[in-house]
Amino acid sequence: MKPIKIVTDSTVQLSKEEQDKYNITIVPLTAMVENVVYYDNLTVTKPEFLQKMLNSPELPKTSQPAVGKFTELFNELGADGSEVLSIHVAGYLSGTYMSAVQGASLSTDKVTVIESGFLDRAMAFQVLAAAEMAKTGAAMSEIVSTLEEVKSKTTLYVGIVHLENLIKGGRMSQTLGRISNFLNMKLILSLTPEEITLYTKSRGMKSLRGKVDAIIEKMKSYPEIKQIGISHVGMSSFTEATIKELKEQFPDAVFYVAYASPTLMTHAGNEAFAISYLTD
């Protein structure tokens, strides 16, 4: 059976140890800040990008990898006879998935491209499951089937504390944004494989605390929470408190805490946070 190599993109949340353990290839997205193009985790770190974003008068412009980059990579990875499994951010959030699909169609090797339906640590649940199965010699069809199961057991919320980036990016009108800022509105978005929706809204941080506590109560209804990911756009006291509470309520879960990707930072804004979890 041919070995399977795993590819993903930089909207994922993986530790360096995880990446090295499974030899996962991460294709970087780019972000342009004040006419300078940065490659995720290659020419700019996440903390550095956050400072550049906060200091910039304009919203950074993010972009998916070029089709040719994927084709070149797939040909390189498949040169030894390996198959390639490429797992990517939800198509409604980025054009990365379609770039990978087009790159695969031009490749001379056997490539399977999967749309994870998520980003951040929620996407990593699938990437790591695929990498572990590939390491043990599982067939591509078996891996793809398992990823659908992992997807169905994954939940992702993104908390928006400041609305400026949503307004600058055109995802919220200027008028509605001014009203929402005046009312000190905070949002929690639900990201599913099909769409992004407003899960709930609140006025002020105290109300937001209650909404997050309600999510944690909902999580407690599952027989087991296996993994929890928390990403942040700058660690705030609110996010610290959320992490503390989650660890107290789910001491047996595997936790991953890190800065969000530049893509998520750009759209979610300062002090935003993401909570993703995988159930049994």
pLDDT given for residue 187 in this prediction: 94
Identity of residue 13: Q
Cβ atoms within 10 Å of 272's Cβ, excluding its own: 26
93 φ, ψ to 5°?
-100, -25
Task: Return the pLDDT at 118.
Answer: 98
Q: Where in the chain is the domain with CATH 3.30.1180.10?
A: 154-279
What rounded mean pLDDT belongs to the chain? Answer: 94
Question: Taking residues 71-99, what's their average pLDDT?
Answer: 97
β-strand partners of 228: 255, 277
The answer to whether 134 and 85 have CB atoms below 8 angstroms apart is yes
Topology, domain 4-29+64-151? Rossmann fold (3.40.50)
Average pLDDT over residues 12-26: 97
The Cα 213–Cα 31 span in angstroms is 33
- The predicted structure's pLDDT at residue 179: 40
Structure tokens at 154: 């994954």
Instruction: Give the tens place of pLDDT for each residue, 143-193.
Output: 999 999 999 999 999 999 998 888 776 554 443 444 445 348 899 999 999
Task: Give the predicted TM-score (pTM) of the model.
Answer: 0.94
> For position 182, what pLDDT does the model report?
39
In the chain, residues under CATH classification 3.40.50.10170 are: 4-29+64-151
Lowest mean per-residue pLDDT among 126-130, 177-181, 221-225, 245-249: 177-181
- The CATH class that applies to domain 154-279 reads alpha beta
Closest CA to 13 of 239, 260, 225: 260
